[in-house]
Structures are given as C-alpha cells and as structure tokens.
C-alpha cells in the first residue's frame, strides 16, 4: 500500500461523522469491462481493481468507517476460464504477502469469509498467516469474501445447528436470529449498513443474503477500477439522505 497523493483525505464537510455507515460492503464489478474498453487483457482490470480496493480501505480508515467487506471471489466464479481463476488465486496470494507489513502498520484487521477449503494450499497458508498476525490490530476490520456464497453460508449454518440439536446440545426453541448469526462466516461482525455495487448491475449476486436484511443499496454505473474517493463520497452523501426506518414509521 504505497502512499500516494489523494484528494478528499479528510472527511468532506458535507458528511456527518455520526451518520456514516459503520460497515460498508462492496461488490466490485466491472474489472473485465474496464480492461476491454482499453484493449487490455481482463487480468489487467483485476490488477487495477486491487489498487482501487486498497485506496477504498484507506479512505474508510481516514473517514472513520469501522468495517469494510469486499466480495472478492464467489462460489460461482469457479465457472470462469481456468486461466483467469488461476491468475486471481495467484494475485490474492501475492497481494497478501506484499501488503501484510503495511496492514500491520495501519492497524488493519483482515479476515477472510467463505469456504476456504477449496483454495490452493499456498493461498490458505497466506490467509491464515495474515489473519493471525493482524488479529490484535485495533483499526478497521477488513473482510474479504473468498469462495463465498450467501446460500452456501446459510446451509452450512443450518447443518451446524442441526448437528447440535441432534447431539442434544441445543433445543429447537433455543434457535433465534442471534444464535443463527453466530454460525455464519461473519459471526462477530456487525451487519453492513451500506452495500455499494459498481458497473450498474441491479442484483446482490448471492452476497451476504442474511446480513443484508436492512442494508441500504447504492448502485453506480462506474466500473470498479474507476471507483475513487470522489465516487465513494457521492455514495456516502446518498446514504446520509436515506430515511432508515427498519420497518418502523418515520419519526
């Protein structure tokens, strides 16, 4: 995360600190289209997308947002061309290795959510090392959804709870939303307040299905590699104009 000059480093005057989302989730869509528009291979879009994500993480830290979750690789993404999948796995591993020291300096706590068992062994080792070494950091919590699927997550939670019931460790009447949340990949993390999706797609693509129950959704036509601090600022201004009632009437 080499430092570089940026605009809007301080919280813009039209944003209210107390009304910022505590947790922002992002679906980083449009890397391939960004590259295609420039006559570049798709992998170049993914490389640029990593830089965009690092800058967004810094921005969240600078502006006092407590948590950021990025949808990096879905369970459905295994259906992409093998060359692209292999590149992404290698990219994830290299970025973790290169950025760990700076994450430590910036007090980032990194966490990976999803079924990590299918990932290459070398990548899993880097993931375990990065999570262990940053676990005591006191800064922003950065969650990376990797081999993640919302339906898969709910099914595995149901299986885990059913097993406890079969073993007599739980009774069916003990099951409530709080207990169910404890069996999700994201247990211990506050649900997202704001979901941002780039490239204009109008769907949540199996991402955090349980956790998004009351998230505000912001869609922008901007492709992910072009999503900068100014774009994030616009998303937050829009968020602060929402009337978040959580099923209640307006006050």
Buried-exposed string 14-25: b where 16+ CB fall within 10 A, e elsewhere: ebeeeebbebbb
Residue 131 buriedness (CB in 10 A; 0-12 / 13-18 / 19+): middle
Structural tokens at position 145: 């959804």
Of the chain, the end-to-end C-alpha distance in Å amounts to 44
Structural tokens at position 70: 């990025």
**Could you tell me which of 4, 72, 63 has the C-alpha nearest to residue 224?**
72
- Check: CB of residue 16 under 8 Å from CB of residue 239: no
Q: Which residues are identified as catalytic?
A: 29, 77
**Could you tell me which of 78, 76, 214 has the C-alpha nearest to residue 150?**
76
CA–CA distance, 23 with 142 (Å, rounded to integer): 10
Cβ-based neighbours of 5, under 8 Å, separated by 6 or more = none
Q: Which pairing describes strands 194-197 and 216-219: parallel, antiparallel, or unpaired?
A: parallel
């Amino acid at each position: 995360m080499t430092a570089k000059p940026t605009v809007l480093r301080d919280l813009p005057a039209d944003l209210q600190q107390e009304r910022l989302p505590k947790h922002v989730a992002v679906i980083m869509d449009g890397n391939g289209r960004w590259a295609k528009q420039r006559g570049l291979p798709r992998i170049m879009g993914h490389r640029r997308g990593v830089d965009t994500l690092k800058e967004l993480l810094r921005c969240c830290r600078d502006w006092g947002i407590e948590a950021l979750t990025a949808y990096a690789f879905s369970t459905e993404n295994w259906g992409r061309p093998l060359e692209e999948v292999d590149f992404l796995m290698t990219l994830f591993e290299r970025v973790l290795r290169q950025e760990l020291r700076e994450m430590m300096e910036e007090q980032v706590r990194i966490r990976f959510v999803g079924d990590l068992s299918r990932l290459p062994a070398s990548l899993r080792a880097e993931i375990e090392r990065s999570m262990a070494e940053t676990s005591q950091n006191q800064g922003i919590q950065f969650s990376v959804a990797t081999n993640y699927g919302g339906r898969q997550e709910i099914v595995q939670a149901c299986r885990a709870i059913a097993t406890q019931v079969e073993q007599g460790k739980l009774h069916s009447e003990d099951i409530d939303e709080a207990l169910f949340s404890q069996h999700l990949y994201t247990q211990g993390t506050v649900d997202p307040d704001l979901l941002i999706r780039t490239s204009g797609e109008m769907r949540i693509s199996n991402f955090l299905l349980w956790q998004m129950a009351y998230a505000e959704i912001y869609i922008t036509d901007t492709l992910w590699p072009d999503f900068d601090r100014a774009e994030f600022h616009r998303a937050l201004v829009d968020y602060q104009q929402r009337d978040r009632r959580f099923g209640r009437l307006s006050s």
